[in-house]
Amino acid sequence: MLNKLNWRCVLYILTAILGIIWVVLGFGTYGFWSAEEGPGAGFFPAIVGCVLVFFSIVEFIKSIGSDAVKFDKEALYLVASVAGILILNFFIGLFPALVIYYVAWLKFVEKYPWKKVILITIFYGGIMYGVFSLWLQVPFPTGILLSWL
């Protein structure tokens, strides 16, 4: 039985658990129905939770023994990129972190020559900065290093 389970089964187990949480909190904590006020804050979520649990079980049974789900190892590049941006953001702020990531990707992953990297970064980064920071005045986070300076 266990060797017939795959990621799809795991996903539907998780959605069923989520549904159960919504049902339990809906009925118990937030109130499903009261005689005076009618449907409570838990009314709608509890119904949705019930539907989710039912169909998750149906889909779980259908998924047993289905083709295994394979994740791509290339996805790690994106995971690493996101982790890098978040760490850099903490120190130097969001916009500089994104620019550094942009340069690093073009130079070290795509292996573009420096001249091309700088030109593309100035062009695209300039548009993004001009529109969001200068025109729309979005206050990007500055990071602890820049705040300290």
Partner 1 sequence: METLSMLAEGFSVAMSFQNILAALAGGILGLIVGAMPGIGSLAGCALLLPLTFHFDPTTAIIMLGSIYYANMFGGAFSAILINIPGDAPAIMTALDGFAMTKKGHPGKALFISNYSSFVGGLIGMIILVFLGPALASFGLNFGPSEMTMLMLVAMTSISWLVGENPITGIIASCLGMMISTLGVDIVSGQIRYNFGSIWLLGGINFIPLVIGFIGMTQLFDLVKQDMSGEKLSYVDAKIRFRDTLLTKDELKRATRPSITAGLMGTFVGFLPGAGATAASFLAYAAEKKISNGKTLVPLGEGAIEGLAASESANNGAAAGAFGPLLALGIPGSGTTAVLLGGLMMWGLNPGPMLFSTNPDFAWGLIASLFISNILSLAISLGCIPWLQKIVRVPIGVMIPSILMICFIGAYSTSNSMFGVVIMLIGGFLGYIFSKCGLPTAPLLLAFVLSSTLETNLRRAFLTSHGNIAMFLERPITDVFLAIFLIMVLVPVGRAIYKKAKNNK
Chain contacts with partner 1 (rule: CB under 8 A): 7-8, 11-12, 15, 18-19, 22, 25, 29-30, 33, 37-45, 48-49, 51-52, 55-56, 58-59, 62, 69-72, 74-75, 77-78, 81-82, 85, 89, 94-95, 98, 101-102, 105-106, 109-110, 112, 120, 124, 128, 131-132, 136, 138-141
Residue 29: burial class (beta carbons within 10 Å; 0-12, 13-18, 19+): exposed
Q: How far is the CB of 149 from partner 1 (least distance, A)?
A: 20
Q: How far is the CB of 138 from partner 1 (least distance, A)?
A: 4
**Helical segments of the chain, H only:** 7-28, 43-63, 75-92, 94-104, 114-128, 143-148
Q: How far is the CB of 2 from partner 1 (least distance, A)?
A: 18
Nearer to partner 1, 1 or 34 (CB): 34
79-104 b/e (C-beta count within 10 Å ≥ 16 → b)? eeeeeebeebbeebbbbbbbbebbbe
